Amino acid sequence: MHARERTADRRESAIVRTAKVGRIVLGVIVALVASCGGGGSGPSAPSALSYPSPQTYITGAAITPLNPSVQGPVTSYSVSPTLPTGITINSTSGQISGTPTTPRAKGTYTITAHGPGGSTAFGLSIAVLPAAPTGLSYPSPQTYVARTPITALAPAVTGLVTKYSASPALPAGLSLDPASGQITGTPTSASVLTDYTITASNVSGSTSFTFSLEVIAVNVTPGAISRLIASGTPVTITLTIVPVDFVFSGTLVATASDTNGVFAPAVTVVPSNGGYTLALTVSTRIVPGHYTSNVNLKLCSDPGCTAPQAVPSVAVPFDIYVLSASSAWPGNHLTALNSWTGVPDWTMYQANAAHTGYVPVQVDPNLFSTRWQGPPVEQGDPYYPYPNTLTTSNGQLFIASGNLLYAYKEFDASAVWQYDFRGLPFPSSNPPSVASGVVYVAAGQQSSTYLFAFNTVDGSLVFKSPMSSQWEYYLAPAIGAQGIYTNAGTYGGIYGFQPAGQQLFFTPLTQTSKWTPVVDANKVYAYTGDALKVLDPATGLVQSSIADPAYMNYVYEIGGSAVLGAPGSVFAANYANSVIDGGAVGNSLLHFNVAQNSIDWRIAGNFPSTPAYDAGVLYVANDNPLQLEARAEADGSLLWAWVPPQSGDVGFKSEVLLTKSMIFLSTNLAIYGIDTTTHRTVWSYPMVGRLALSQNGILYIEGSGLLTAINVK
């Protein structure tokens, strides 16, 4: 073969081989393309991505890793929004792991798996809750003082707390803040040591702490002080203080203080019935005025008060009027009238037919208040100050003023009726008595002397029975079961009248003025200075007479009455003689023993007014020495005495008014209230006058000015 031909053949063979190789490669490519889903498309994308969902995690606790489930090739993972703090996603494997540190509300996190041909996504729900709180505690135990604000008590706790609660409920006045767990407030009363469980919780759980708490207290009685006080009077105010659920340490020492200096610092402390009695004194330096504040009582166990008691102090509110004679009236307090049950009205001179001046009630000076003032009272005798004692019955009071008899309402002093004696030829009026709806009064002089009787409701005249007299004045008639008895007579004596006005008798007696008889169930007693005469209540016959050999008649007046004690026991003095030589002449206090017809005992002194009596004790005012005396009925021995507190007190100006708890008595400066147990001055009022206490709890002061009514209940 020619050489050119051989060369051409070799070229043709090479071309054929190349074409075959090309067809093989193309077939492979076609096969590959076919295996990928068809010809003409790019790389495939991942699909069907998922995670276990939803997921709830707790802060501080490592989560169980979450791995994705996915189809197809994935080159990376991403999440939006960012997973909760502490949780991460592995961008290569898609695994979610970590320890959440911050609570996060439930949310959806979109996780995307990326591949060469695209991506796929899944919404994973995740909530991160706070860990349950732990380690709750409070300072324990706690001791608080009732009525004293506590220092806020805060908890110690680990973790987030959304709510605090307590079981059982905290003592009254204390509260637990459900958000902060703080315990605050002012406990109102004592509480024994008790365990309280406080629970701190959130949605994940709770933790509890039991702590002990007690509230100690002192009970103070009364809980508040109210008083009317005459300026310059060292009135004593007594409080009882009792520890509750604790015991005072050592000796209790107390001092008083207030912003206005109403109280003197010194406090007298005396043990009493499981507690203590504290005696506070109103300062005599406090100027007249109305004071309202708290008195702070500092409680210690040593005189220097360097060692406070467990209850270091107690505050007691007070409302005190300090009044002078020229002070403005504190105002009317027209409270509803409610009578004491079983307590008689003040119907005669010194309350009753025995003239004991005793009203069987307990009165509390903290309850006293001014009720009303008025009307003015005129004096019938210029030589005998304040003679016109009043009486009360069924919500009315009756008083003679000038030559008129008035009936007023106790409620507000409004007039009910009046009767004018000025039409008599020789007009005069004397104090009234009242019984069974009838007011009795002796009025007129000389030939126009009568015992008048009026209907209490409308003042209509019931009767007008004639008597005889000269120019005497009389005290209120005495009323007994059989009649009405009054002194009268041209030359002295006693009249007896039936309730309808018929005269029972007239018995001549020693001529003297300004006295009234005493009556019990069987006898009438007439003390005329020279003797005590015992009369029959129906006939007036003198059954016995006990003479006073030391009697001296200087002023022809008695100025009071005898007083009945126990059966057969009668007290008397010639009170009007107190103005003679300082009472040194004819003014002894006498005790008559009716059964033995004798004078048992005699006490020298200067006794200006009728005493009061109850239960074997006579309470009598003595101007020399100046003191109220409590004397034993049996022998006249002095049991105790009270001395008027002001330097200007020089004499007594009223009869003694006695209750179970207090004695009332007027000096020339003030009306004083004396405690029957402590014998201290516990109340005073800057007025001078005669006294009466009605069944409705109204104390009347009848002096030279306006008639004054004081509520005592």
> Encoding tokens for residue 216?
């100690």
Q: Max Cα separation, the chain?
A: 207
Of 217, 251, 285, the residue that ends a domain is 217
pLDDT at 402: 83
pLDDT reading at 609 higher than 80: yes
Cβ burial 670-682 (10 Å sphere, 16+ → b, else e) = bbbbbbbeebbbb
Distance of alpha carbon 677 from alpha carbon 587, whole angstroms: 29
Note whether 666 and 616 are same-domain residues: yes
**What size, in residues, is the chain?**
713
- Decide if pLDDT at 512 tops 90: yes
Amino acid identity at 353: A
Decide: helix, strand or coil at residue 367: helix
703 and 556: one domain? yes
Q: How many CB atoms lie within 10 A of CB 197?
A: 12
Indicate whether 646 and 595 sit together in one domain: yes
- Residues 438 and 567 occupy one common structural domain: yes
Residues 6+ apart with CB under 8 A from 667: 644, 646, 649, 650, 651, 652, 653, 688
Placement of tokens 């409620």 in the chain? 411
Task: Say if CB 220 and CB 207 are below 8 A apart.
Answer: no
**Co-location of 307 and 239 in the same domain:** yes
- Could you tell me the CA-to-CA distances from 63 to 79, 86, 123, 600, 608 in Å, in that order? 17, 10, 18, 109, 103
Q: Tell me which residue range forms the domain holding 6.
A: 1-41
| Cβ atoms of residues 562 and 475 within 8 Å | no
Residue 333 lies in a domain: no
Tokens of 531: 């003797």
Lowest mean pLDDT among 139-143, 516-520, 622-626, 705-709: 705-709
User: Could you tell me the two tokens for 215?
Assistant: 């509230």
CATH assignment of the domain containing 606: 2.130.10.10
332 domain residue, yes or no: no
* Category of 347 on φ-ψ map: left (φ > 0), alpha (ψ -120 to 50) or beta: alpha
At which of 107, 129, 151 does a domain end? 129
Residue 485 lies in a domain: yes
The answer on 551 and 658 residing in a single domain is: yes
**What's the rounded mean pLDDT across residues 335-361?**
98
Residue 652 DSSP symbol:
B
Tokens (6 digits) for 357:
């001046």
Q: Is the pTM of this model over 0.75?
A: yes
> What confidence tier does 359 reach under pLDDT thresholds 50, 70, 90?
very high
Type of residue found at 292: T
pLDDT of residue 20: 45
340 belongs to a structural domain: no
CATH number, domain with residue 311: 2.60.40.10
Using the 8-state DSSP alphabet, how is residue 30 labeled? H
Same domain, 138 and 13: no
Q: pLDDT (tens digit, 9 = 90+) per residue, 132-184?
A: 999 999 999 999 998 889 999 999 999 999 999 999 999 999 999 999 999 99
pLDDT score recorded for residue 41: 63
Q: pLDDT value at position 339? A: 97
- pLDDT band at residue 16 under the 50/70/90 scheme: very low
What's residue 147's pLDDT?
83
Q: For 615, left (φ over 0), alpha (ψ -120 to 50), or beta?
A: left
When divided into structural domains, the chain yields a total of: 5
Could you give the C-alpha distances from 293 to 221, 232, 296, 329, 511, in angstroms and in order?
A: 17, 20, 10, 21, 58
701 and 643 assigned to the same domain: yes
Residue 79 lies in a domain: yes
Beta bridge partners of 135: none
Of the three residues 129, 163, 192, the one that is the final residue of a domain is 129
Question: Does 117 score more than 60 pLDDT?
Answer: yes
Exposure string (b/e) for 58-82, b if CB count within 10 Å is 16 or more?
bbeeebeebebebebebeebebeee
Contact indicator for 404, 439 with CB cutoff of 8 Å: no
DSSP annotation string for 411-479 = TT--EEEEEE-TTSSS--B---EEETTEEEEEE--GGGEEEEEEETTT--EEEEEEE--SS----PPEE
Q: Does a structural domain hold residue 344?
A: no
Residue 342 domain flag: no
Residues 528, 449 within the same domain: yes
User: Which residues, listed in sequence order, are joined to residue 599 by a DSSP beta bridge?
Assistant: 592
At 402, give phi and psi (nearest 5°): 65, -125
Helices marked H in 286-417 — which ranges?
Answer: none
Q: Which of 74, 71, 82 is nearest to 49 (CA)?
A: 71
Tell me whether residue 292 is in a domain: yes
292 and 199 together in one domain: no
| Summary mean pLDDT of the chain | 92
Q: Do 576 and 486 fall within a single domain?
A: yes
Same domain, 375 and 495: yes
